[in-house]
Structure 1
């Protein structure tokens, strides 16, 4: 019983500490990509609304390591580098939900 309670407690704490994709989007992405990722950032990027989570993750990972991006590479690298893997997964799921 103690083992079950410990596992449930860990799961509860983990879910409370899970990254909030909507909050991350609002604080890091919204100002350039707009409401529900519906605009081209600084009129130079692609509109990312409708991208699937894998494409978003690949793009942001590429910004982090310098292998992706054109005009927005310099703007995106510091933003992307500030995201943990968990944050990236959460924000990618949020953006993918914007159709």
Structure 2
């Protein structure tokens, strides 16, 4: 239990450093993983596609089976955060 609390605390602190840190747990450090075996490989997406999908998750107009989970992940992201994620990962 202590390890879980420590890991959660570390991840929460690190997530303030980079908006993508929140994503890396499921998508991989470089966006190379299909999150939970269901998502697209986000490193292969264009910057515009990443912005459109994150904004769509946020407003509920985008997504398949992970729509509910992703909406919760992106609700606190600002437009600047979304653009920073796209710049870091997108082509």
The number of residues matched between the two structures is 75
Higher RCO, Cα 8 Å, sep 6+? 1
* 1:43, distance to aligned residue in structure 2 (A): 0.6
**1:86 alignment partner in structure 2:** 80
Q: Measure, in 1, the Cα distance between the counterparts of 2:44 and 2:88.
A: 10
Instruction: Give the TM-score taking structure 2 as reference length.
Output: 0.77
Higher normalized helix content (fraction of residues):
1
Tell me which of 47, 53, 65 is aligned to 1:53.
Answer: 47
Q: Measure, in 2, the Cα distance between the counterparts of 1:48 and 1:91.
A: 10
Question: Which protein shows a greater Rg?
Answer: 1
Instruction: Give the TM-score taking structure 1 as reference length.
Output: 0.71
Runs of 4+ in 1 over 2 A off after TM superposition: none
Cα RMSD (Å) = 1.3
Q: Measure, in 2, the Cα distance between the counterparts of 1:50 and 1:44.
A: 15
Unaligned runs of 5+ in 2: 1-16
